[in-house]
Structure 1
Amino acid sequence: MRNFTIALDAMGGDFGPHISLPASYESLQLHSNLVIIIVGDEQQINPLLKKYHLLEHPRVKLMHAPETISMEDDPVSVLRHRSPSSMLIALQLVADGEADACVSAGNTGALMLLSKHILKTLKGISRPALVSALPNNRGGHSYMMDLGANLQCGCDTLFNFALMGSVLCEKVEQVSSPSISLLNVGRESNKGSDEIKHCASLLNKTKYINYIGFIEANELFDSPADVVVTDGFSGNIALKSYEGMGRVFIAQLKKAMNATWYSRLLGKLLNPLIKNQLKHLHPDLYNGASLIGLRGIVVKSHGGANIEAFTCAIEQAIKEIQWQIPTSISERLASVLAERDCLLHE
């Protein structure tokens, strides 16, 4: 079993190395063939290595990065100046073949622009998409894209998202012929913008994609679709709404269970059952949005992720390395895009 290497932007996110380092340790314990290159400010990281059990670890390397991209930095300015930040160096390690993937909890816009500039997109793909898993009512999860990398998307972009999402789901989840839906304002064929209706028509005619029609936002977590495709504006709002509602639901449930002595007693009896039933809904388990459509693997962790959530982001990167997602997408692109071009000229 060959080793695989992840370049970790240790400085990104709200808590920097205080989350990324212990998450690295957890991942190293889970995978004996995992090597992690910790990229960040040595002055901040060195004192923490012993605390988080990484000092002199045989599968940990440290690479100094003198600068850090903050959440407030303007992504265009970051791209223009290309300072030696932890994010840029981690991405460059992937581009140079020294790492198989990059994981960062840093500035999403900066990560998107730097990834596209340093790693480049696959042939036939103009824009990478941000995709992540969302829980569904079947006890599993569906993939949704785009989640904010591309606020406005035309027909071609949505089509490419459907293709890339299909390959990702097929490989990582081992789902044969994943079902694809477009998020829309209604399920009827006459609903939505001209772009989304045109995309639906193309998907319907494409034999390589299992398109099953439109879905509405209230069906996101109860849909038979394995992949839901939308623009980044709608996708980001849907994702944040889910995260917010999940926290409200858990808070209200706890409040109700502590309201009276009877509810507290009942809560103690039912707590194991409730935890087991609701654990797959917790947002931390779905941390780790992938930037797909690039020539390398990049996984974006939520900026406010805790250790468990950041570990999930590393786990997502490992799955994509194992299934060589960029290569799989590239191989599928040639045949599907050729078919799409024929359909466009009919």
Structure 2
Amino acid sequence: MRTIAIDAMGGDHAPKAIVEGVNQAIAEFSDIEIKLYGDEAKIKEYLIAKERVTIVHTEEKINSDDEPVQAIRKKKQASMILGAQAVKDGEAEAVISAGNTGALLAAGLFVVGRIKGIDRPALMSSLPTIDGKNFEMLDLGANAENTAHHLHQYAILGSFYAEAVNGVKQPRVGLLNNGTEATKGDPLRKEVFELLSNESTINFIGNIEARELLNRVADVVVTDGFTGNAVLKTIEGTGLSIFKALKKAIQDGGLKAKAGAYLMKDSLYGMRDMMDYSSAGGAVLIGLQAPVVKCHGSSQADSVYYTIKQVRTMLENQVVDKIVNEFSKERGQNE
């Protein structure tokens, strides 16, 4: 039985969306237990599951505008912090939250703790592609600045995850750059290229360009946190803008446009679903001693369910244990 701690009070639609997602997961998976942290009375309004769910009551929570480090120091009884502490104390094997991203990153780093040998954990997420599959991208903003050594580690971490969780054999690892040639990029990208070219444990395919990301040119895309966050928000914003523009064109196009849209309804819904990232689960703070996973702040019940499913797979496939073994082996070679 796997035990997962969940911050029931984090996110725009908490606790309703969080608890409804838990209801779905408990009904689907008989091998998990959930510890919900938050206001017991509010949680019970939506909780249907009667077995394998425990509520740990607290009225304190971290708000979206709280300064992350100060919040985890001052709000010791916040639902997010109690969930992270449960992992630290061995009462749970993973923690999920849709709350303040910075606070969750800080809680993961200072409460759960990083794996020895990993300099800086990265934020990694599955992003949708045109063929309906996904690719992993990291770092998406856990660090504003990175060294070449950090990105080298991220390539190994992402490759482990893609194989263990997504079932991709020999995942293709690409370095995000401003051109595909080996000589392209700033000094950081050139140094990373050399490190990854000499890394025997991964399937490095070289530099890739941002315009090819949604064509699934790679299974794992590595970049620094500043660039990764900017690219992520550009993809999200472009997708929303395209659908908004398409809807406006149909509304303003008269009867002919509306009739055409009606005839293409199934195809348009299929396109929307293909680009929907909610079924891919949450963003993983990878490089920590246990899975710490961030749901999108606007997550609805389905997204929470898929995130629980994702964490269950991580625990089943012992992703963290494999990473610990790999980096322990690396340290042994360096000593």
In the TM superposition, residue 335 of structure 1 has moved relative to its aligned partner by 4.0
Q: For 1:43 and 1:107, how far apart are their aligned partners in 2? A: 22
Contact 2:130 2:275 in 1 (8 A): no
Q: For 1:209 and 1:337, how far apart are their aligned partners in 2? A: 18
* Deviating more after overlay: 151-160 vs 265-274: 265-274
Q: For 1:269 and 1:282, how far apart are their aligned partners in 2? A: 22
Question: 1:23-38 alignment to 2 at 5 Å?
Answer: 23-38=21-36
In the TM superposition, residue 101 of structure 1 has moved relative to its aligned partner by 1.2
Contact 1:246 1:282 in 2 (8 A): no
In the TM superposition, residue 337 of structure 1 has moved relative to its aligned partner by 5.8
Q: Which amino acid aligns with 2:292?
A: V
- Counterpart of 1:88 (choices 77, 81, 94) is 81
Give the match for residue 230 of structure 1.
223
Contact 1:287 1:302 in 2 (8 A): no
Cα distance per residue 1:292-338 (max 9 Å; x no partner):
10011111011111222222222221221111111011122244566
Q: Does 1:289 align with 2:287?
A: no
Q: Does 1:125 align with 2:118?
A: yes
Give the match for residue 170 of structure 1.
163
In the TM superposition, residue 22 of structure 1 has moved relative to its aligned partner by 0.9
Give the match for residue 214 of structure 2.
221
Contact 1:180 1:226 in 2 (8 A): yes
- Counterpart of 1:333 (choices 314, 327, 331) is 327
Question: Aligned Cα RMSD in Å?
Answer: 1.8
- Counterpart of 2:48 (choices 44, 47, 53) is 53
Q: For 2:267 and 2:168, how far apart are their aligned partners in 1? A: 29
Q: Does 1:185 align with 2:178?
A: yes
Cα distance per residue 1:120-169 (max 9 Å; x no partner):
11121021111011112333110000111111000111011101000000
Alignment gaps of 5+ in structure 1? none
Q: For 2:103 and 2:206, how far apart are their aligned partners in 1? A: 34
Question: 1:275-314 alignment to 2 at 5 Å?
Answer: 275-314=269-308
Q: For 2:147 and 2:75, how far apart are their aligned partners in 1? A: 29
Cα distance per residue 1:72-129 (max 9 Å; x no partner):
1111212333521100110111122221211101111111111111111112102111
Give the match for residue 14 of structure 1.
12
Give the match for residue 321 of structure 1.
315
Give the match for residue 246 of structure 1.
239
Contact 1:147 1:236 in 2 (8 A): yes
Contact 2:62 2:75 in 1 (8 A): no
Alignment gaps of 5+ in structure 2? none
Report the secondary structure of 1:220's partner residue: helix
Give the match for residue 41 of structure 1.
39
In the TM superposition, residue 287 of structure 1 has moved relative to its aligned partner by 4.3
Q: Does 1:5 align with 2:10?
A: no
Q: Does 1:261 align with 2:218?
A: no
Q: For 1:44 and 1:276, how far apart are their aligned partners in 2? A: 36
Identical-pair percentage? 37
TM-score when scaled to structure 2? Answer: 0.94
Q: For 2:159 and 2:70, how far apart are their aligned partners in 1? A: 34
Q: For 1:306 and 1:80, how far apart are their aligned partners in 2? A: 29
Q: Does 1:194 align with 2:187?
A: yes
In the TM superposition, residue 60 of structure 1 has moved relative to its aligned partner by 1.1
Contact 1:10 1:39 in 2 (8 A): yes
Report the secondary structure of 1:144's partner residue: strand
Q: Which amino acid aligns with 1:77?
A: Q
Q: Does 1:74 align with 2:67?
A: yes
Contact 1:131 1:290 in 2 (8 A): yes
